[in-house]
Chains A and B, each alone.
Chain A
């Protein structure tokens, strides 16, 4: 117990913020551009002339606003989106992805959120690059407040 407490104290004393991003995603996105990807999904994500719209899209836009970022949307299939996420060309994937997603090994999966309009009774998650914990935590904190989990 004492070891745990002293380690925690020494970390905070170093001025490190916990959790942190190994690849600095949150820092890169804040005040800059959030490159997000989505795929069409019923009433949850509709694509009109290459531009996505819907409840999930609104959530992502609101999140970006909360970190002073502009969203640059990419609409493609889930698989190509995940490949781009892995390559570092995207920071976020949102759409009709649920907690049962098979992309667990290739992307960081957020907690699931019910009660998103248009999702039915699905538990919707969002995908972030693996290990970007500060970014993920910021996203989840935002979604907790907005969706009220």
Chain B
């Protein structure tokens, strides 16, 4: 076996190594930035349900970031007897944890918002003293929310969105997606607070409900994506929009081998890398071991994500195998 063909090897090519290093730096920057914004919002949150919901959403955004960094520690480890498939699924677990956290807290916040609206609670927002002037706290809320949005929407959201496809990382992609959509939360909370200012008290609860529905939707989407991956669904692209094209590439490569008549694959996403079982129907009744070895190495050479390859010569392709047709 050459260096390339070690099942589930975890060494990455240079592009992915720099992308991963960049992703780690952005995640640490995001965690620091978010900690500061959480403290800032805490100063102005007051009695506004919309502000409270936005504040909790800010805290929730730390979950995928911490999950990503934690999973990376495990994903680096080489496969051994105890973990023969490697620890790549740690990324899938991280994705699931993030999704469930969002869903649970989102539901909680939605219930709170609806209860507040139904019982007709008018939010009381008074004043604070700033440099000798008595200022309505609502203005401070609007100011803080307008400033806080700059980081996720203009800086780390797009940066992480660029890195996610390079690393084929669904958790990072989900994190980036939520950061870019943060502007909706900001607009909702500003509308809610200004609504209260104008005397339309229910706009605060409505804004809180809107924000929590967004959180629930993020939770549902991510939980679903993480669960189907953990259940070994056919591998999909990093944004889960369609089946991953690599399966078709692998099948055409296999069919191009002189000793293979027909081929099909089962490809599942282990967290960032794929696990491939290739079923091949040989032209002749016998196969040569070095043909199998060379073909496996050839498949692994196709892409950094395709390291765990098993080739099975069969008489007939199974129905569920992807034949690229």
Contacts and interface: CB of A to CB of B under 8 A. Distances in A.
Interface of A: 1, 3-5, 7-8, 11, 16, 18-23, 108-111, 128-133, 136-137, 140-141, 144, 149
B197 A7 contact: no
B123 interface: yes
B198 A133 contact: no
Contacts of B186: 3-4
Given A3-B186, A7-B191, A19-B197, A130 B124 contact: yes
Contact of B201 (A22, A110, A111): A22
B150 A1 contact: yes
B179 to A, nearest CB: 17
Contacts, number: 91
Nearest to B142: A4
Nearest to A1: B146
A21 B63 CA distance: 39
Nearest to A139: B126
Given A4-B143, A133-B197, A18 B136 contact: yes
A33 to B, nearest CB: 22
Contacts of B196: 19, 131, 133
Given A137-B127, A140-B127, A22 B199 contact: yes
Contacts of B147: 1
A131 B145 contact: no
Given A19-B197, A21-B199, A22-B201, A136 B126 contact: yes
A140 B134 CA distance: 8
21 contacts: A3-B190, A4-B143, A5-B146, A7-B142, A18-B138, A18-B198, A20-B198, A21-B199, A22-B199, A23-B122, A108-B124, A110-B126, A111-B127, A128-B124, A131-B201, A132-B122, A132-B124, A133-B124, A136-B124, A137-B134, A144-B129
B151 to A, nearest CB: 12
B230 interface: no
B187 interface: yes
- Identify which of B126, B183, B191 gathers the most chain A CB atoms within 10 Å of its CB: B126
B129 A131 contact: no
A87 to B, nearest CB: 14
Interface string B107-151: 000000000000001111111110000101011001101110110
Contacts of B121: 130-131
A1 B134 CA distance: 23
Interface in B186-222: 186-187, 190-191, 194, 196-201
Nearest to A20: B199
Please name the 8 residue pairs, one residue from A and one from B, whose CB atoms are nearest each other, closest first. Answer: A131-B122, A20-B199, A108-B124, A4-B146, A18-B197, A141-B134, A1-B146, A19-B197
Contacts of A144: 127, 129, 134
B124 A109 contact: yes
Contacts of A23: 122
B150 A7 contact: no
B193 to A, nearest CB: 10
Given A4-B145, A7-B191, A133-B136, A19 B122 contact: no
Contacts of B183: 3
A141 B142 CA distance: 20
A18 B128 CA distance: 15
Contacts of A8: 139, 142, 194
A149 B129 contact: yes
Contacts of A5: 146
Nearest to A143: B134
A141 B134 CA distance: 6
Contacts of A140: 126-127, 134
A114 B129 CA distance: 14
B125 A19 contact: yes
A22 B194 contact: no
Nearest to B146: A4
Nearest to A23: B122
B127 A22 contact: no
Interface string B17-55: 000000000000000000000000000000000000000
A133 B126 contact: yes
Contacts of B142: 4, 7-8
Contacts of B139: 8
A137 B129 contact: no
